[in-house]
Amino acid sequence: MRTSHVPLICAWLLGLCVAAMALVGRAQPVATDQALRGTIRVLEIRGTITPALVPQMRKVLEDIDPNRLPAGALLLLDSSGGDGLAAMEMGRIARAAGVHAFVVGHCNSACVFILAGAVVRGVANDQAVAIHRGRITVTASGANVSTASNPEAALALEVADHLSEEYLREMNLPETLFKAMMAVPANLSRFLTLAEMADLHLTGSDPVWSHAHVPAGAAAYGISPEEFERRMQRVPASCIPGKPTPQEFTRCYRRIMQAGA
């Protein structure tokens, strides 16, 4: 699925906002989280996902400490999809940086691969995430290519499906997610309920990350690991509604993690 929005990736740390590799605006620096002794870096990805966003995201996150608590960085998503291979690479970058991702608008199609890459994933509403099986499109126009009449396209789609399955396994997502995607025709989308997202592990935290980082995060805040997990789970419902700005979301995130409310 594609949109007419201009691809945009913004990083709020030193007021930098980059779109298509050009400076387009500024934002206030994000406030310091006193529990972490550092600045919370926030990225926003909205619009169509393209290969050009991969090096931008890598550059923004290249100096992030993935062990930073409670998050290496925050990622706000609002995208109808785009290039699936690029999205998977962006998901790997997010995973390596210890990113917490939140769907502040919608996250459909290829965007789900980015969401899957985050170590913590938050969604507040039903109908915010949509899935379907892969398809081959013409990059310039976005038109679908028929795999029935084009053997090369059919082979490319087979390879892409295999890469998608391997990627989701790499991100510790259950096989049921890939099967759910493959069950939806490429020209349609199935919107997931919050209960379905939880069952498919598209919300919550990656178990490997939780095992390694939650105890230290809890200690940093002087709370139990169970309370640390509960606070992370409160963030989506508390901070996403109302379409917050990145600064508003970050203030809310910080408040929930520090005080629990």
Higher-pLDDT residue of 62, 196:
196
- Residue 160 pLDDT level (bands cut at 50, 70, 90): confident
Residue 1 lies in a domain: no
Residues facing residue 108 across a β-bridge: 130
Residue 149 lies in a domain: yes
Per-residue confidence (pLDDT) for residue 71, from 0 to 100: 87
Per-residue confidence (pLDDT) for residue 153, from 0 to 100: 59
> Can you tell me the mean pLDDT for 16-35?
28
Number of domains in the chain: 1
Percent of the chain with pLDDT over 70: 76
> Can you tell me the mean pLDDT for 139-149?
50
Given a cut of 90, is residue 88 above it in pLDDT?
A: yes
Residue 2 lies in a domain: no
Residue 198 lies in a domain: yes
∠ Cα 3 120 181 (to 5°): 50
Answer yes or no: are the C-beta atoms of 72 and 64 closer than 8 Å.
Answer: yes
Which CATH number characterizes residue 156's domain?
3.90.226.10
> Can you tell me the mean pLDDT for 60-86?
90
- Predicted TM-score (pTM) of the model is 0.81
- Residue 260 pLDDT level (bands cut at 50, 70, 90): confident
Per-residue confidence (pLDDT) for residue 197, from 0 to 100: 96
Q: Coil, strand, or helix at residue 174?
A: coil
- Residue 26 pLDDT level (bands cut at 50, 70, 90): very low
**Integer Cα distance of 227 and 221 in angstroms:** 10
∠ Cα 61 64 68 (to 5°): 140
Please compute, for residue 109, the number of CA atoms within 13 A of its CA located in the half-sphere on the CB side: 24
Phi, psi (rounded to 5 degrees) for 104: -95, -10
Please compute, for residue 213, the number of CA atoms within 13 A of its CA located in the half-sphere on the CB side: 21
The helix (H) or strand (E) run that includes residue 210 is helix 207-221
- Other C-beta atoms closer than 10 Å to the C-beta of 116 total 26
Residue 238's alpha-carbon distances to 90, 123, 141, 199, 258, in angstroms, are 26, 11, 39, 21, 14
The parent domain of residue 84 ranges over: 8-259
Residue 3 lies in a domain: no
> Can you tell me the mean pLDDT for 110-135?
91
Q: What is the mean pLDDT of the chain?
A: 80
